Amino acid sequence: MTVLLIALGAALGAPLRYLTDRAVQARHDSPFPWGTLTVNVAGSLLLGAVTAIPAAPAVTALLGTGFCGALTTWSTLSYETLRLTREGARFHAVANALASVVAGLGAAALGYALAHALTG
Amino acid sequence: MTPPPEFRVDPDVDLHVPADRAELTAHPAAVLGAIAAGGVLGALARAGIQSAFPHSPTGFPWATFGINLAGCLLIGVLMAVIGARPVPPLVRPFLGVGVLGGFTTFSAYAVDAQRAVTAGAAGTALAYLAATLVGALVAVWVGDAAAARLLARRAAR
């Protein structure tokens, strides 16, 4: 059952990363990878909230391991940073790496605090 | 003369690359289906490794650390191969966006660090944040450079 829930969450999360990335790029024609930053921060916010709620293991598997796990990515983030460095966009590369880590950690803490406050 | 490599920043989808721009409207079901199927395989592999190597809230999340570094190494290899030779159009959506995107996770990285801070292990959190960041960047560079060198050597033969 857990395996099926993880699979279902991932089957939604991975295409949503692709579609979000496309939608963000279509609106911001910039070398900065805003699309990946968006999904990584949004996924960290949601997973932070999920861990704050004493949820059933099924919810953690579906939303946490499956959906948030597949929505967010380290492979895309690191490849983007490598390419920006290669193309001479050093500032963008450093900003991308540091902003992802800081914003991701902040989003996880915010999601946790919000869910904790709402559920008591 | 080999053609200059295309300027692709985002391996998931880069709208500056004509093939990426056209793929969704041309084959929406195939592209999204390949990404979903790949994402399921990657996520299940990650979940299996994470449950085999659990960590306490104050402990170093070795499983997620290893998963993220391995995925970064492999995306470097994959993108070097895709950049060097023609591959079927669904290879990048399935393996790159789906399998490796589903395998690696940023949300667990951020939440693991946040939980370690909350549990009073700020040192572990900081070490984990920095080690993953540096390790991921070194891994993608090694994967890309090693694969590109091997492909160039084979092409020169």
B104 is in an annotated binding site: yes
* pLDDT beyond 80 at A120: no
The mean per-residue pLDDT over the stretch B103-127 comes to 97
pLDDT over 90 at B34, yes or no: yes
A60 in contact with B, Cβ within 8 Å: no
Distance CA B42, CA B38 (A): 6
- pLDDT category, B54, cuts 50, 70, 90? very high
Of A14, A43, A51, the CB nearest to B97: A14
Residues of B in contact with A69 (CB under 8 A): 43, 46-47, 102, 105, 107-108
Mutate to test the interface with A, among B8, B12, B67 (most CBs of A within 10 A): B12
Residues 6+ apart with CB under 8 A from A14: A70, A71, B35, B36, B38, B39, B40, B42, B43, B97, B98, B101, B102
pLDDT tens-digit map of A65-90: 999 999 999 999 999 999 999 999 99
- How much of chain A, in percent, has pLDDT values that exceed 70? 100
What pLDDT does B1 receive? 43
| One-letter identity of residue B93 | P
Suggest the residue from A24, A45, A67, A74 to mutate for an interface test with chain B (most B CBs closer than 10 A): A74
A20 with B34: CB under 8 angstroms?
Answer: no
Asked whether the CA dihedral A60, A99, B64, B141 is positive or negative, the reply is positive
Q: Each residue of A17-65: pLDDT tens digit?
A: 999 999 999 998 888 999 999 999 999 999 999 999 987 899 999 999 9
Distance from the Cα of B130 to chain A's closest Cα (Å) equals 9
Cα B112 to Cα A48: distance, rounded to the nearest angstrom: 9
pLDDT at B6: 61
Judged by a CB distance cut-off of 8 A, whether residue A33 touches chain B is yes
| Mean pLDDT value of segment A89-110 | 97
HEC assignment per residue over chain B: CCCCCCCCCCCCCCCCCHHHHHHHHHCHHHHHHHHHHHHHHHHHHHHHHHHHCCCCCCCCCHHHHHHHHHHHHHHHHHHHHHHHCCCCCCHHHHHHHHHHHHHCCCHHHHHHHHHHHHCCCHHHHHHHHHHHHHHHHHHHHHHHHHHHHHHHHHHHC
Indicate whether B50 pLDDT > 90.
yes
Supply the pTM of this predicted model: 0.95
∠ CA A71-A72-A78, nearest 5°, is: 140
- Which ipTM did the prediction report? 0.96
Check pLDDT > 80 for residue A93.
Answer: yes
Q: Report d(CA B35, CA B113) in Å as an integer.
A: 28
Q: In 3D, which of A63, A80, A68, A74 has the Cα closest to residue A25?
A: A80
Instruction: Assign B4 a pLDDT band (cuts: 50, 70, 90).
Output: very low
Residues in A closer than 8 angstroms to B96, CB to CB, are 75
Judge whether residue B2 has pLDDT over 50: no
Query: Which stretches of A1-120 are DSSP H helices?
Result: 2-27, 34-52, 57-59, 69-71, 75-86, 90-119
Q: What is the pLDDT of residues B79-90, one digit of tens each?
A: 999 999 899 999
Tens digits of residue pLDDT in B123-146 = 999 999 999 999 999 999 999 999
Tell me the C-alpha distance between A68 and B20, whole Å. 24
Q: Do B133 and A108 touch (CB under 8 A)?
A: no
How far apart are alpha carbons B48 and B66 in whole angstroms?
Answer: 13
CA distance A47 to A71: 11
